[in-house]
Amino acid sequence: MFENNKGIGVIGAGSFGMAIANLLAEKNKVLLFARSPEKLAQLEANKANQSQYIHDNISFTGDLQKMGHECSLLFPVVPSVQFRDMMTTISPFLHPGHILIHATKGFYVDVDLANFTTISRKNIKTMSEVIRETTSVVRVGCLAGPNLASEIRAGKPAATVIASKFDEVIEMGQRSIRSSRFQVYGSNDILGIELAGVLKNYIAIATGAITGMNLGENARALLITRGMAEMIYIGRALGATSEAFLGIAGIGDLIATCSSPDSRNFTVGYRLAKGEKIGPIIESMNEVAEGVRTIQIVKALSEYYKITAPIVHVMYRVIYENLSLEKGIKFLMRYPAHVDAEYLKSNGTT
């Protein structure tokens, strides 16, 4: 149990929030927050979420004050576009003694993406930076890795990384959620781990498109590998080192997300390849595919920092400028390349 006899809170009742709650509930009493009254009523009435089993140790609330008062360890798992508002709302009920470990793979941006002219590091924040800016919480961490919710729900083995500048955050998270089927690694490189989790999303859209076009495993492997280079270049520009991108939360998450139809971002790319338009795809999805928004942000960042990032530029043109995927793939195949794994030495600037 949680060492101070308080429960653990999960903020967000989507598929991954529910998966995290079920893992935590194997050892702890868990309080799960659902924002929608309809969703809350459904959870309380059925003890199930879209046929997903809900552990008996999980109870439900729509009251953030209750979350703050009853839980010292909280896992926010909400989409990035809602994250700042959620933290601002719960902030009065948090204090410096709380520990927050988020599992949101997206950016907060302080510009209007529909009308922006440029985006630099000063315009974006990771979710841990949002937590520190909007609340009094000091001990912050993130959870990231190859964690497809459907596989966790099915009890299949998986691993994740909990990253924080505070060792006690990592240790508390590990004790709370680790099990015989869910390994938890630690890292003090919270920025690198967060960026790895965010940036792989747009690569997953591209690989979904490759798969939908039936271009084969060679092409998908090529795109994943070159996508890793783009991730590292962007990460360095934003202040991260390369190491986080080469571990579980980087290459591990990238492989899983770029290979599975259970990945929302992969599914977006696959459906684009089958001729659907991005608007109807997004509208039909039950949960957010963070990669669509990430493409806008990373494209602007790469231009500001003069980073070579052909994959994100092609996907931007496909989604926002109606470039055909066929022409986009031909462009990528003709893109000049000279040295393999040059990102191990190069900074990626042109």
Tens digit of pLDDT at every position of the chain (350 positions): 334 457 899 999 999 999 999 999 999 999 999 988 888 888 888 766 566 788 999 999 999 999 999 999 999 999 999 999 999 999 999 999 999 999 999 999 998 888 877 899 999 999 999 999 999 999 999 999 999 999 998 999 999 999 999 999 999 999 999 999 999 999 999 999 999 999 999 999 999 999 999 999 999 999 999 999 999 999 999 999 999 999 999 999 999 999 999 999 999 999 999 999 999 999 999 888 899 999 999 999 999 999 999 999 999 999 999 999 999 998 988 876 665 656 666 555 44
Whether 195 contacts 211, CB under 8 Å: no
**Interacting residues of 262 by C-beta distance below 8 A, sequence separation 6+:** 148, 149, 150, 151
pTM metric for this prediction: 0.92
* List of residues 6+ apart from 238 with CB closer than 8 A: 121, 124, 191, 195, 301
* Catalytically active residues, by annotation: 200
* Domains identified in the chain and CATH numbers: 7-188 (3.40.50.720), 192-344 (1.10.1040.10)
- Cβ distance 227 to 203 under 8 Å? yes
Tokens (6 digits) for 172: 């508390």
With 0-12 / 13-18 / 19 or more C-beta atoms within 10 angstroms meaning exposed / middle / buried, residue 336 is: exposed
